[in-house]
Amino acid sequence: MKEIFKNIPVIPYEGAQSKNPLAFKFYDADRIVLGKPMKEHLPFAMAWWHNLCAGGTDMFGRDTADKSFGAEKGTMAHAKAKVDAGFEFMKKLGVKYFCFHDVDLVPEADDIKETNRRLDEISDYILEKMKGTDIKCLWGTANMFGNPRFMNGAGSSNSADVFCFAAAQIKKALDLTVKLGGRGYVFWGGREGYETLLNTDVKFEQENIAKLMHLAVEYGRSIGFTGDFYIEPKPKEPMKHQYDFDAATAIGFLRQYGLDKDFKMNIEANHATLAGHTFQHDLRISAINGMLGSIDANQGDLLLGWDTDEFPFNVYEATMCMYEVLKAGGLTGGFNFDAKTRRPSYTLEDMFHAYILGMDTFALGLLKAAALIEDGRVDQFVADRYASYRTGIGAKIRSGETTLQELAEYAASLGAPALPGSGRQEYLESVVNQILFS
């Protein structure tokens, strides 16, 4: 097999003092953290679309990066060259999972029957490549937003024919996910949303999205898919109003339509911040509802305000993310780098720098989150902050053994209300800094 990433070795771990750009400084796969090797805490995944397909095109200019990998674009030879490149890339970095949309894998034909034939061919090729490696699929999905037919969404489309095309793509993407041993299947809303209520029946559209998800679950289970389905919330872009605004909205939707047993959240950092939340907030909301499934590991740019899909370098954010993940007992999914190199970082080598950055950032986040938990001051503070509910009237509130009447009488007996105790935010922030930088 021809080497595609020439001059790039298998990326070693060299430690924090290393100045070798093609080495990990913090990601030490076998290092034990809280009783488990780093690689098990951090099942990293390569996003097929950004890494192997996207060339840096934006609305002002064409590709800067050449992702032809020596083949003619738009051909099956190119689809196979991407598989070759992807597997060489993952092996060199020690990345064990990949995520894909159907149309990332092959060029889409006009007729869906031909697209599906191409998908069969490429998935056979991927299966061959997987043999003898421990690389697996993390999750699959169907791209139901790129083709013009999905201009009004997929499940939410006003057209029943478009709904059927969405169903056909989901069916095939589920077949592929099962064939490639995927742990999960993702629904990112894509264009499931609306621009104006002047032409939109929101209730009707939401019912239809739920119907499509139920049909997907029914079919997935019938072909032996035992993994989780995920909703990946996002508040806007491409639609003005996206139905899966954030974790709380998506969880409410799943409960309303009886989908909560089969679905969890795939939380993307950049989507959470677009919703006006921190990444940590949406992780916490998912976790407390038992629905923290998987993570799209990237970061946005608060100065820009759109989905910039940057490789994560913010160690504070990664630490808070890993703090949530550790406290939730880990993920059933993994950490998918839904991220792209910046347009001027157009060389093949930059793809490696990007993954080294992302993997090192999350390794650091893991180490610092473990230290935060072992230190215990933050957790202890939070526990103590609610101490008034452990005994007396507080304990009665928690156990439901009181009435509004009794609480009113109790309050009257207190006279002037007491202050609730300092939140000590600045002290706690300095504890975090101490752990981050010592």
Nearest distance in Å: CB 86, ligand XUL: 16
- Work out how close the CB of 296 gets to Co ion at its nearest, in angstroms, rounded to a whole number: 4
Residue 307 site contact among ligand XUL, Co ion, none (CB < 5 to 8 Å, cut-off depends on kind): ligand XUL
Question: Is 241 marked active-site?
Answer: no
Question: Closest Cα to residue 7, out of 345, 348, 340, 356?
Answer: 348
Q: How far is the CB of 65 from ligand XUL (least distance, A)?
A: 18
Amino acid identity of residue 363, one-letter, is: A
* Longest CA span, the chain: 82
Beta bridge partners of 139: 99, 184
Nearer Cβ to ligand XUL (138/186) = 186
Residue 186 CB, shortest distance to Co ion, in Å, is 8
Q: Could you tell me the CA-to-CA distances from 280 to 8, 320, 345 in Å, in that order?
A: 35, 6, 29
Residue closer to ligand XUL, measured from CB, 38 or 299: 299
The contacts of residue 403 (CB under 8 Å, 6+ apart) are none
Clarify whether 161 is annotated catalytic.
no
CB nearer ligand XUL, residue 26 or residue 362: 362
- Closer by beta carbon to Co ion, 82 or else 271: 271
User: Please, which residue, 305 or 423, has the CB nearer to ligand XUL?
Assistant: 305
What part of residues 295-354 is at the interface with ligand XUL (CB under 6 A)?
296, 307, 338
The rounded distance, in Å, linking the Cα atoms of 216 and 425 is 45
Sites of contact with Co ion (CB under 5 A): 268, 296, 338
Q: How far is the CB of 170 from Co ion (least distance, A)?
A: 17
Interaction between residue 273 and ligand XUL (CB under 6 A) = no
The encoded tokens of residue 102 equal: 């159907």
CA distance 309 to 190: 15
Chosen from Co ion, ligand XUL, none, partner binding at 299 (C-beta under 5 to 8 Å by type): none
- Kindly tell me which of 154 and 325 has the beta carbon lying closer to ligand XUL: 154
* CB of 272 vs ligand XUL, minimal distance in Å: 11
The H or E element spanning position 100 is strand 97-101
State the amino acid at position 393 in one-letter form: I
- Footprint of ligand XUL on residues 206-245 (CB under 6 A)? 232, 234
Q: Which helix (H) or strand (E) holds 168?
A: helix 160-179
Binding mask 74-103 for ligand XUL (x = CB under 6 A): ---------------------------x--
Q: Which residue has the tokens 């092959």?
A: 106
359-388: contacts with ligand XUL (CB under 6 A): none
The two three-digit tokens of residue 248, written as one number: 């709380």
Query: Which residues from 148-187 bind ligand XUL, rule CB under 6 A?
Result: 186
Kindly name the residue from 28, 84, 102, 104 that is annotated as catalytic.
104
Q: Which residue has the tokens 């191409």?
A: 118
Task: Choose between 102 and 338: whose C-beta lies nearer to Co ion.
Answer: 338
Q: What amino acid occupies position 21?
A: P
User: At its nearest, how many Å lie between ligand XUL and the CB of residue 274?
Assistant: 9
- Residues in the interface with ligand XUL (CB under 6 A) total 10
Residue nearest to ligand XUL (CB): 188
For residue 141, state whether it binds ligand XUL (rule: CB under 6 A).
yes
- The binder of 234, among ligand XUL, Co ion, none, by C-beta within 5 to 8 A per type, is ligand XUL
Return the SS3 of 140: strand
Which of 101, 271, 277, 281 is labelled catalytic? 101
Across 314-350, b (16+ Cβ under 10 Å) vs e yields ebebbbbbbbbbbbbeebebbbbbbbbbeeebbebee
Q: How far apart are CA 436 and CA 26, in angstroms?
A: 14
If one asks whether residue 188 binds ligand XUL (CB under 6 A), the answer comes out as yes
Angle at 416 between CA 415 and CA 418, to 5 degrees: 120
Q: Could you tell me how many residues make up the chain? A: 438
The answer to whether residue 191 forms part of the interface with ligand XUL (CB under 6 A) is: no
Residues 6+ apart with CB under 8 A from 406: 396
Task: Please identify every residue annotated as catalytic.
Answer: 101, 104
Which residues contribute to the site for ligand XUL (CB under 6 A)? 101, 141, 186, 188, 232, 234, 268, 296, 307, 338
